[in-house]
Amino acid sequence: MRTDLFDFELPASSIALRPASPRDSAQMLTVQPDGALADRVVADLPLMLRPGDQLVVNDTKVIAAQLKGRRIGRETEPKIDATLIKRLDGSRWQALAKPAKKLSPGDVIRFGNEGKVCLLGHLDAQVEHKGDDGEVTLSFSFHGPTLDSAIADLGSPPLPPYIASKRAPDERDEADYQTMFAANEGAVAAPTAGLHFTEALEAALRARGIGIHRITLHVGAGTFLPVKAEDTAGHKMHSEWGTISRETADALNAARAAGGRIVAVGTTSLRLLESAAAEDGTIGPFADETAIFITPGYRFRAVDILMTNFHLPRSTLFMLVSAFSGLDTMKRAYAHAIAGGYRFYSYGDACLLFRAPDKLGRELIPA
């Protein structure tokens, strides 16, 4: 499909720079299969679901993936920013570097403030490879847990560019940009739909008889990138590592067989569930990378309802929600959200998308 079909105008004032407080007070737009829209808040989520429905959340934990340093060993030492995007092994990471034009293979970048104590006072990395669009392979001087500790000490939360361009990350972001489910380190971007959850909301969901299950997809920085190709067929997705346990897969399959619906909290959870699903919708255990790219025409197998935030124009995530609910419906929903003052992107509000009933005739609760 043409990429420009997924474009829309978004006022800068619609971009949220801080999350709602409390988190579950954020607005939530419900979108029914027939296109009907209703304005809710996230705290209403238990009312929108049925006993027996199963929420699936992503328990990945965001690392301090934003590093600042300088190139050393040459006549000039320009400042270099690097965002870690994918671990390759115990000492090597793929990263996005700025300005990448200042770097060549073999260069050494020294990260950290010399006055800040971090093991030996700083962290060095050699540019092993330089690719397109600012992507580099960094080979660090430390390995394994020692490297992880150094990155945690010297790095900062990798706020999305549409927030970082408007303000600097601060201590509040260290808590705000982490979900209450965060447990397994490895993401360089938050699974933002999960940011809306609170202990009170979790308790209300469980009291309603709704199950909550954890899976892990380590979100990469590619989630922020707009699609530059003129046609979606020309876009290459970044791969991300995900895991679903046998216990979780069995529990979800049993609940669905009993009439419960699978509710993906976030596009990351949905992409992992769909990657692990067989043609008949049965979810299997999973431990692998996925680069699944979902656009209109995709047949959803595992997920019945999607809770997600409002996404960028021309992004793979807006393409995904358009596949789930229909492009025309989502453009109308986004226009409604903009006019109604909804807040967009990572720290913004939510929408709850109900997929059309399948051949089994599972009914959806009206808004």
288-318 pLDDT tens trace: 999 999 999 999 999 999 999 999 999 999 9
Classified as helix, coil or strand, 344 is strand
Residue 117 has pLDDT above 90, yes or no: no
Inter-residue contact 192 to 176 (CB < 8 Å): no
Please give the Cα distance from 351 to 254 (Å, whole number).
Answer: 27
Task: Note the helical H segments in the chain.
Answer: 45-48, 144-154, 161-164, 171-176, 199-207, 246-257, 267-276, 316-325, 327-339
Please give the Cα distance from 272 to 65 (Å, whole number).
Answer: 22
What six digits make up the tokens of 301? 């197998």
Q: What is the pLDDT of residues 334-354, one digit of tens each?
A: 999 999 999 999 999 999 999
pLDDT band at 365 (very low <50, low <70, confident <90, very high): very low
CA-based nearest residue to 334, from 319, 88, 119: 319
Q: What is the pLDDT of residues 58-83, one digit of tens each?
A: 999 999 888 999 999 888 899 999 98
CA distances from 34 to 30, 166, 217, 353, 362 (A): 11, 38, 31, 11, 15
> What is the structure's pLDDT at 237?
87
Residue 241 has pLDDT above 90, yes or no: yes
Classified as helix, coil or strand, 188 is coil
pLDDT band at 357 (very low <50, low <70, confident <90, very high): low
The answer for residues whose C-beta is within 8 angstroms of residue 132's C-beta and 6 or more apart is none
Residue 21 has pLDDT above 80, yes or no: yes
Provide mean pLDDT across the span 231-236.
90
Inter-residue contact 307 to 124 (CB < 8 Å): no
> What is the structure's pLDDT at 159?
82
> What is the structure's pLDDT at 122?
84
Residue 167 has pLDDT above 90, yes or no: no
Please give the Cα distance from 29 to 310 (Å, whole number).
Answer: 10
Provide mean pLDDT across the span 248-275.
98
User: What one-letter code names the amino acid at 251?
Assistant: A
Task: Note the helical H segments in 30-120.
Answer: 45-48
Residue 265 has pLDDT above 60, yes or no: yes
Parallel, antiparallel or unpaired: strands 37-41 and 27-31: antiparallel
The answer for residues whose C-beta is within 8 angstroms of residue 326's C-beta and 6 or more apart is 35, 296
Whole-structure pTM value? 0.89
What burial class does residue 366 get, using C-beta atoms within 10 Å of its C-beta: 0-12 exposed, 13-18 middle, 19+ buried? Answer: exposed
> What is the structure's pLDDT at 143?
92
> What is the structure's pLDDT at 29?
98
Mean pLDDT for all residues in the chain? 91
- In sequence order, what E strands does the chain have? 27-31, 37-41, 54-58, 60-62, 66-72, 79-87, 92-98, 108-111, 123-130, 135-140, 184-187, 211-217, 240-244, 262-265, 286-290, 305-309, 350-354
Residue 324 has pLDDT above 90, yes or no: yes
Residue 222 has pLDDT above 90, yes or no: no
User: What one-letter code names the amino acid at 69?
Assistant: G
Provide mean pLDDT across the span 255-260.
96
Provide mean pLDDT across the span 47-53.
97
Please give the Cα distance from 137 to 153 (Å, whole number).
Answer: 21
Q: Whose structure tokens read 């006055």?
A: 115
- Angle (CA) 179-62-276 rounded to 5° is 80
Provide mean pLDDT across the span 240-249.
97
